[in-house]
Amino acid sequence: MRITKSDLTIIILLLVFVSIGIYGINSIEFIVGKETINFTLKWCGVPILLLALYYAFKSTFAYHKSAEIWRNIVGFVIMTFIMGMVFFISFQGLIILINNNLGDHKEYQLQGKIVSLDYPKDKKIGNKYSIEIKREIELDTIKLDVPTNHYLQGQKFTKKMKIGYFGFLYAKE
């Protein structure tokens, strides 16, 4: 296996981008995660797909020219899926960082009653605890990612939060 200088450059850029994205996702403790997911799909879906296809092609057909065609096809499909997930998480983290660090932010007092809990059985890396809150002023419900599972259904929830650059509700602590 021979790695060229251009391959090394692409790998380093990928690792830097993924590192920034993972940092962005883990930089915030309270956020309405569904909004960031929908925003990422809407505004970054095409670039994510194109980048995933590019990396899948580079790692299969462009790299293993002597491999059987079926191996390249299977590898291409698998790598497209894996790289698509990697780029999705990275773009989502980057969007969270931009939302929390650029532009003017409005103060927001979140008040409501916890109507639902979504706690994974086993806490693993990437799992989020989330609670659904029925807001008192807006008379709607939102699902908020939270850092712990110390909340109870029916409990009153009050938190000073901010509305960021893209309009996502968040709090760092």
pLDDT at site 7: 80
CATH 2.40.50 fits 106-171, yes or no: yes
Mind giving me the DSSP string for 43-62? Answer: HHHHHHHHHHHHHHHHHTTT
**Mean pLDDT, residues 87-108:** 95
Task: List where CATH 2.40.50 sits in the chain.
Answer: 106-171
For residue 19, give both structure tokens. Answer: 């590192």
Amino acid at 151: Y
Q: What is the per-residue pLDDT across 142-173, written as a single tens digit (0 to 9) for each?
A: 999 998 889 999 999 999 999 999 999 999 88
With cut-offs at 50, 70 and 90, classify the pLDDT of residue 1.
Answer: low
Give the Cα separation of 123 and 76 in Å (integer): 32
Give the Cα separation of 147 and 171 in Å (integer): 11
For residue 118, give both structure tokens. Answer: 């979504």
Residues 6+ apart with CB under 8 A from 159: 30, 109, 110, 171
Q: What is the per-residue pLDDT across 107-143, written as a single tens digit (0 to 9) for each?
A: 999 999 999 998 887 766 667 889 999 998 888 999 9
Give the Cα separation of 90 and 103 in Å (integer): 21
Residues 6+ apart with CB under 8 A from 59: 75, 79
For residue 38, give both structure tokens. Answer: 């929908």
